[in-house]
Structure formats: C-alpha cells, structure tokens
Chain A
Amino acid sequence: MRPGVLIVFYTLVVLLPLALAWLRVSPPRSLLDELASGAGLLAFAIILVEFILSGRFRSISGRIGMDVTMRFHQLLARTALALALLHPFLYRAPFAAQRPWDTSRELTLTDEITALSSGALAWVLLPTFVLLSVGRDQLAYRYETWRLMHGLGAMLIAALVLHHTLSAGRYSQDPALAGVWLVMAATALLSMLYVYMIEPLLKLRKRWGVVSVRPIALKTWELVLEPSGHDGLAYDAGQFVWLNVGHSPFSLNENPFSISSAPASGKRIEFVIKDVGDFTGAVGRIEPGTRAYVDGPHGNLVIAGRTEPGIALIAGGVGIAPLLGILRQLRLDEDSRPTVLVYGNRVREQIAYPDELDALARDHGTKIIHAVSEPPDAWMGHVGMVDDGMIREAFGSPEMKRWLYVLCGPPVMMDIVEDCLIDLGVPAHQIIAERFKYD
C-alpha cells in the first residue's frame, strides 16, 4: 500500500463514526451540542487508531517510515486531546433523565452517574497520559516503566471512553455505530495482544544467543548475536530490531537497536550500543551465551534497489550503527558507486571502528569525513558538529544532487542536514532518514 493510500485510509477510518452519525436521522440540536458530539466521536476514533500507529506494524511503518509513523502517533494524540478536552464544554443541553417523548435525546444529556463518570475519569486521565508521554525524557523514568504505563494507560482510557460512548453517546445508540466502535476497540485490543502476547510466543521458536560483547569506543559496545537453531533474520542493511537480552520474550525489557552488520556477512547480527543508562548501562556485563530475542526487522533506512549514482551516509554519534551495516553491505556487494561517510562525534574516542573505517577508505575508496566537536590537540579533521557549512563543502558539487543521502543521528543534526540538502537541490525522495528520538 502506498503512503498516500495509507493516509487516505487513515482519514476514512477516523471519519467513519462521524459519517455514520451523520447518516442517523435525528431531530436537530444546537450547533454547539452537535459540535460536542462530533468532537467526542472524532477524538475516540483517533484514540483507537493510535494503537495501530504504535510503530510495531511493519505493514504501516515499513511503508511510511518509523519516524513518520511515530511522529504521526504523537501529533495526532494532541489532536485527540484537544477534541476530547473541548467535548464536554460545548454541550448546551441540560443533564436530565430522558423524557418519554424524547426518544432521540434531542433535549437532554444523560444524567446516569456511571455513564458520565467513565467519561469524566477518561477526560482527566487523557491529558495526564499525553503530558507524561510528551515529557517522558524530562521525567527520566525507565524505558520499561514508560512502556508499561503507556500500554496499560492507553487500554484503560480506551475502555473508559468505550463505556462512556456506548452508555452516554446519543449517536452511538445506533447499532451500526455501536458495532463500529466495538470492532475498532477490538482491533486496538488485538494490536496490543499481538505485540505483547502473540509476537513473544512466536519469538520463543526463534531464540538467539549472545556470542560476544566488547568495547569498541568510549562508552560504546559491540554486541554480537547468533541464531539458536533457526535460519536467522531476513533483513536489509540499515534496518533495526527490538532487542531483548536476558529476559523472557514476554518481558517489556526490549529496546530498539540498529543492526550494524551486513546481511551478506552471514547469520550473525551485530549491534553498536552506546551506554546512555537503562539497559545500555549494563550491556558491558552481558555474558556470552545469554539468551536473546529480536523483533523485526523494522525501519526503512534501506538502500537495496536504489540506483542513484553515489551514496552519502551522514551519521551523528551512535547513528553510525545502521550506516555501518550499509557500508559493510556495499563493500561485500563490491558496489563501485562513490561513497562518502560524514561522521560526527563529540570526542575522537567516540569514533566506532576507526581501523575498519580507515580500511574502507583505503581498500574500497570510501571517503570518510570526521567531525569532532571537542577535538584533541593534533586533530586535523573538521572541528564542530555536522552542520550546514560542512554539508555544503562535502556535497556542494552539482553531480551530487543525484546521489542518495542516508541520515541517522540526533534530531537537531537531522533537521539541519535535511534542510541543507534540500537547499542544495537534492530532491526529498533521495534523502532517507531515521531518528533516535521522535519528539
């Protein structure tokens, strides 16, 4: 399915409850009462589709990119929140018992306490939930805690709103609309069951074992896994997986990491992991032989099938991991296209695999441009971050407009580089990117 079709499909699904409410023949109410109902219908539809936009479904994230999927998930949560917050304040009809002659509830809103309290509780929980999600980096709770809170919180809010909608909603008394809500809620629930129950069950048959863990740069580790009794993972260079090391496949202790090995190098898969706390802080203590599980491959940082005449890889910090996979695959494929790697780090000691990069430059002709923002005294390379000036200097020649650009790094660097490349005349479809963070 093409990205445009997915977006149209998304819009139609979100608008479906509103369309069914439209078709229901009911006596008219005031504009504000109708806006209140409509806002509620839209907010709930968006909330339910958010479960599918969680980034774990390759049929979606594989087509529009994990970055775009997650960004949409986050942005649309804000839309749902705004509509949900407005919903109760727009009503003008009074809360009262249903009058016998008012079968369509034209004149009153329900005054049943259970129907209202589920909505009120969801109304309080939703902004708390969105704020905790938006500010999760500032709040610095463990990633696993965050995932548990986010999953359980989302299901609780969806269940409360479903109860409120089916018991208090004027339009949702219609069997067709009630049926649509139940189908959408069941789909959301199934998506959670798939991610947290079915996928882990499938992973039980595809165990991996840790082969080695070794330091390769300052606070940066290489982790190598090999498949235990299966054929390994069919992936493209540049993709990532959700990695679980030393825990049950049902554990929430799994984190996304890019694969730094090349598919053509064999069944083993390698990762470059930077120590930034949580799981990554303990990676150096992982013993060989430890059991591991992977969920993937995910991500669209893939150059297989691309025919551009040159390839530019631009990495910031540990963003080198997927680009290493691509570089290694290009070397194994004996790809003769010109290749340039721009690699930014804070200090020289953070440069991963410096000897391998030197060998790539020497034997494969890959041009390597390092940028270090806190250089040692004898540093001869670029000083500073990967910035606009550096990109213009490296990729300013006219023939490079036709190259493929692959970006992975911190959001600020990515925004600067992407804007600069567009300004240099590189078409957007020749720039593929993956971010560490989505907010």
Chain B
Amino acid sequence: MTDWLERIPTHRRVILLFWLLNAVLVMALFAFALRNWLWAA
C-alpha cells in the first residue's frame, strides 16, 4: 500500500472512496448520455 494511503484514516478513506465511486458513476452516466456524439467523434 502506498504511503499516502496509509496516512488516511479508515473513516475518511470510506468517504473518499464513496466520492470516487460517485465520480465514476457520474462519468459513466454522461458517457452513456453522450455516446452518440462520442461514437461520432
């Protein structure tokens, strides 16, 4: 495990992971909605 991750307590790590997951879901949602434009590009 990298040093910077070892400096994050578990209760903060869960929140960080939650927001990272939300970011992935939102990106996937927009990628889905924009797919016709993305394919065209």
Contact = CB atoms under 8 A, between A and B. Distances in A.
Nearest to B25: A42
Interface stretch (A261-269, A349-357, A421-429): A421-429
Interface in B1-41: 1, 5-11, 13-15, 17-18, 21-22, 24-25, 28-30, 32-36
B9 A428 contact: yes
22 contacts: A11-B21, A11-B24, A15-B25, A18-B28, A22-B35, A28-B36, A31-B33, A34-B32, A34-B34, A35-B29, A38-B32, A39-B29, A42-B28, A67-B14, A71-B14, A75-B18, A76-B21, A79-B18, A428-B6, A428-B8, A429-B6, A431-B10
Contacts of A429: 1, 6
Contacts of A65: 10
Contacts of A68: 10, 14
A28 to B, nearest CB: 4
Given A419-B9, A428-B5, A18 B29 contact: yes
Contacts, number: 79
Contacts of B29: 18, 35, 38-39, 42
B22 A79 contact: yes
Interface of B: 1, 5-11, 13-15, 17-18, 21-22, 24-25, 28-30, 32-36
Interface of B is mostly: helix
Contacts of B8: 422, 428
Nearest to B5: A428
Interface residues of A, number: 34
A73 to B, nearest CB: 11
A250 interface: no
Nearest to B7: A422
B13 A7 contact: no
A35 B25 contact: no
A402 to B, nearest CB: 13
Given A22-B35, A68-B14, A76-B18, A418 B9 contact: yes
A27 B9 CA distance: 48
A75 B21 CA distance: 11
A22 B25 CA distance: 14
A67 B25 contact: no
Contact of A414 (B11, B14, B25): B11
Contacts of B11: 67, 71, 414-415, 418, 433
A14 interface: yes
Most buried by A among B1, B5, B25, B34: B25
B25 A79 contact: yes
A72 interface: yes
